[in-house]
Amino acid sequence: MTRLPLYVLRNTPKRLEWNERGDEEMLCLCCSSTLPFLYPVSVSLRHRNRRRNLHRPLLISATSSRPSSNKPSRFLPLPKKTDDAQVIPHMLLFDSIGLDFFSLAESNPQIVNTSLSDIKSTIDLLRSIGLSSKDIRRSIDICPEILTTTDITQVLTFLTREVGVDASKLRKVIHRQPRLLISDVSSRLRPTLYFLKILGVRNTAKYTSILTKDVEEKLIPRIDFFLCAGVGTRDARTMARNFPQLLCYDIEENLKPKFQFFEKETGRDLKELRKFPHYFAFDLSERIMPRHSICKERNLFFTLPTLLKPSDEGFRELLEEASSSAAVL
């Protein structure tokens, strides 16, 4: 188990509380303010969850042995104040780019033990591909693990050499999907890339945000959904090939309700959906349903692209033109 100095705040109401958890005791660190005084607390992290709820107390496993059945007090006193020199340089560096060290340390405790030179190298690498300080703040806020990963260079090489991303567009790619930087190339990014190529997706550089999705947990279930809905295997692959973002949509919140509306309310042939899978990109309640209702009331019929692609103004003009000429497109 890795030893890690965890810094907490002085002069604030805080306490260490015993909590039963399996065969180990867990310490629950409770703090309620932010003053610039630090206490180091030596702990060992059993679990390094990449995602932590910043509004919940931090759970850490105690290095001491499990207390006897005759527990003393529920609350353990904090240690006395010691030298803060180890953490101050980190605080100054993060402050220089507008980041809160304490929030980052809570969401990714490894930051505390990561050398200042390694963090600076990571930030310099991000700047070298065109990310501004604002871009870096956004990326780290979304994914704090970026500061402690050692595979960023490998990811950038993979994106340029295997995916085909132009070096000048790396900034845009990372800004859109920062989680790429902490995704393992061999177990996540490359298998997903191969899956897209098997489907026949061309110009994979346009769909880098999909590369962070797990093939078995995310992509294949979307294909299976359409197969179960009556879309043939070849047609399902064609839909995914022509519109790869389809593989990222939530089944329960997006695909299922929109497919059910298409099937039960529109009276359209399934061939239209196969030709225009972009249908699933439009909002059901604000675009698909209202426009379908208007056309039904006026006894008008438009193909799916003609119905959904135009802006609201363009759609009104289309309705006026169709109504005046009584034409059916």
Residues facing residue 45 across a β-bridge: 2
Question: In this predicted model, what pLDDT tens digit does every residue of 316-325 receive, in sequence order?
Answer: 999 988 877 7
Percent of the chain with pLDDT over 70: 73
Percent of the chain with pLDDT over 90: 57
Question: In this predicted model, what pLDDT tens digit does every residue of 138-183 receive, in sequence order?
Answer: 999 999 999 898 889 999 999 999 999 999 999 999 999 999 999 9
Mean pLDDT to the nearest integer, 234-241: 94
DSSP state of 254: I
Question: In this predicted model, what pLDDT tens digit does every residue of 288-318 receive, in sequence order?
Answer: 999 999 999 989 999 999 999 999 999 999 9
Comparing CA positions, the residue from 196, 241, 242 lying closest to residue 218 is 196
Mean pLDDT to the nearest integer, 198-212: 94
Chain-centroid distance of CA 128 in Å reads: 23
pLDDT at 221: 96
Alpha carbon distance 121, 103 (integer Å): 21
159: CB partners within 8 A, 6+ apart:
165, 170, 173, 180, 208
Is the separation of the CB atoms in 32 and 13 below 8 Å?
Answer: yes
Rounded to 5 degrees, φ, ψ at 16 are -105, 120
Residue 110, burial from CB neighbour count under 10 angstroms (0-12, 13-18, 19+):
middle
Residues facing residue 135 across a β-bridge: none
This prediction has a pTM of 0.69
Question: In this predicted model, what pLDDT tens digit does every residue of 239-267 receive, in sequence order?
Answer: 999 999 999 999 999 999 999 999 999 98
Alpha carbon distance 152, 204 (integer Å): 20
